[in-house]
Amino acid sequence: MTLATAHLRIRRGSGDEPPRYDEFAVPFEDGATVLDALIWIRAQRDASLAIRYSCINANVCKECTIAIDGSVAYACTTRLRADRVVTLEPLPGKPVLRDLVADTRPPRERLE
């Protein structure tokens, strides 16, 4: 079995910081997803990477929704690719909490 390598460029930091990006090379087998890669990065490279997910696959919880190359998609169902760098960012139009985690609560529930 041969492993391919995905190159992921990931937005880091909180919403009130200027955006910066870290790049990670992630080995993967055919069929692996962006969420698989994010979990691997946290376990093998950078435990401080903030991500959110719950069900792990199949669009059940929708917690893993992020922007993948500018399009909103589920990290748990988007397949990794080895042919180019893929950019991951938090959901657009939502306050960024940290890294790939945005505040998805409805505005009415954000009373502080």
- Site residues (CB under 6 A) for ligand FES? 53-56, 59-64, 74, 76
d(CA 24, CA 27): 10
28 vs 74, beta carbon nearer ligand FES:
74
- Residues in contact with 72: Cβ distance below 8 Å, sequence separation at least 6, in sequence order: 65, 66, 91, 92
Least separation in angstroms between CB 9 and ligand FES: 20
Least Cα distance to 73 among 35, 16, 23 occurs for 35
55 vs 72, beta carbon nearer ligand FES:
55
3 vs 101, beta carbon nearer ligand FES:
101
d(CA 34, CA 86): 10
Least separation in angstroms between CB 63 and ligand FES: 5
Least separation in angstroms between CB 35 and ligand FES: 6
